[in-house]
Amino acid sequence: MNSKKRKRSLEPYLWLLPSILLIGIFVVFPIIIVFRLSFSEISKAGIVGGFAGLDNYKEAVSLPAFPTVMKNTFWWVLSVVGLSTLLGFIAALLLNQKFKGRKIARSILIFPWATSLVIQASVWNYIIKYEYGSLNNVLLNLGIIRQAVNWRSSYQIEFVWECAVGIFVTIPFVTFCVLSGLQSIDEALYESATVDGAGFWHKLFSITLPLVRPSLSVSTVLNIIYVFNSFPIVYTMTKGAPANKTDTMITFLYMLNFYDRKKGPANALSVIGFLILCFCAGIYMITVMRKEEETL
């Protein structure tokens, strides 16, 4: 009897074991290695030497490009997560209406998300290309413009394009998270609100928003992590050029490691990024969970 009980209490751990092993090998172990490397001397050929204290961190934050890269990363995460959440929410409201072809519209929306980011970014590269880009071609043929426009005439504009592509590919994820929340709201709530004379905005802020908040918070936390760590768009579109002015932290540390061969500072930056993410996601989760507990 006793042994049966023990078996039963062990059972959940047994089921969890594969995931724990996977996470241990592919997540925890690399994190530990990066932490260790960030405090070690690493030669240009990649040979790990002795303990380096905080030297790698000091070198990383004193790199001339560091302030620009941090600023870019901030705007990148804020604009992509912020705008894609807003636009994705609006798209979800539209797709929750009953109309002909709703299923088709929903499946079209998932395309950008289902396509690899490298392909997306390359396609956008072709669209906005000055010499033979399709955007210029279409506008010229429609007679909207007389001369081809250089859509990426300065690095500021290139960075805006990168953010725009980031927003475009992130919208579907938000939309589907919100849509799943919307579908679980009881129609009767809206009906009784209408009977009581509530308008569109009133219903939006008093019924819809509070009830989809759990889905919104999940999508936002995941998006902060995904977008912060996003590599393909920036790397495919500009590789951070000119002179790291369009780099975000992730592409910058990649170039630092594999092009500049400054492996120590690159590992230190990785750790800094990891801590920033833990901090942001932590604060967000705590505030959101508190609010949810209050409302329950």
In whole angstroms, how close is the CB of 285 to other proteins at the nearest point?
34
Task: Compute φ and ψ for 41, nearest 5 degrees.
Answer: -75, 130
- In the complex with other proteins, the residue whose CB is nearer, 46 or 197, is 46
Residues 37-66 that bind other proteins (CB under 8 A): 43-48, 65
The span from the CA of 90 to the CA of 112, in Å, is 17
- In the complex with other proteins, the residue whose CB is nearer, 31 or 241, is 241
| Per CB under 8 A, 36 contacts other proteins | no
Identify the residue among 72, 208, 220, 244 touching other proteins (CB under 8 A). 244
Q: How many CB atoms lie within 10 A of CB 17?
A: 10
Identify the residue among 106, 203, 213, 245 touching other proteins (CB under 8 A). 245
The span from the CA of 135 to the CA of 128, in Å, is 6
- Cα-Cα end-to-end distance for the chain: 41
Structure tokens at 92: 């979800």
* Closest by Cα among 115, 125, 108, 160 to 236: 125
In whole angstroms, how close is the CB of 241 to other proteins at the nearest point?
4
The span from the CA of 80 to the CA of 102, in Å, is 26
- In the complex with other proteins, the residue whose CB is nearer, 60 or 182, is 60
| Per CB under 8 A, 111 contacts other proteins | no
Residues 223-242 that bind other proteins (CB under 8 A): 238-242
| Per CB under 8 A, 188 contacts other proteins | no
Residues 6+ apart with CB under 8 A from 283: none
Max alpha carbon distance in the chain (Å)? 86
* Closest by Cα among 128, 132, 194 to 157: 128
- In the complex with other proteins, the residue whose CB is nearer, 153 or 206, is 153
In whole angstroms, how close is the CB of 25 to other proteins at the nearest point?
16
Three-state DSSP state, 51: strand
Q: Binding segment for other proteins among 166-174, 190-198, 223-231, 260-268 (CB under 8 A)?
A: 260-268
| Per CB under 8 A, 158 contacts other proteins | yes
What's the Cα-to-Cα distance from 105 to each of 172, 178, 185, 213, 227, rounded to whole Å? 12, 16, 21, 24, 25
| Per CB under 8 A, 261 contacts other proteins | yes
Identify the residue among 233, 255, 268, 272 touching other proteins (CB under 8 A). 255
Q: For binding to other proteins (CB under 8 A), which residues are involved?
A: 43-48, 65, 130-132, 150, 152-155, 158, 238-245, 255, 258-261, 263
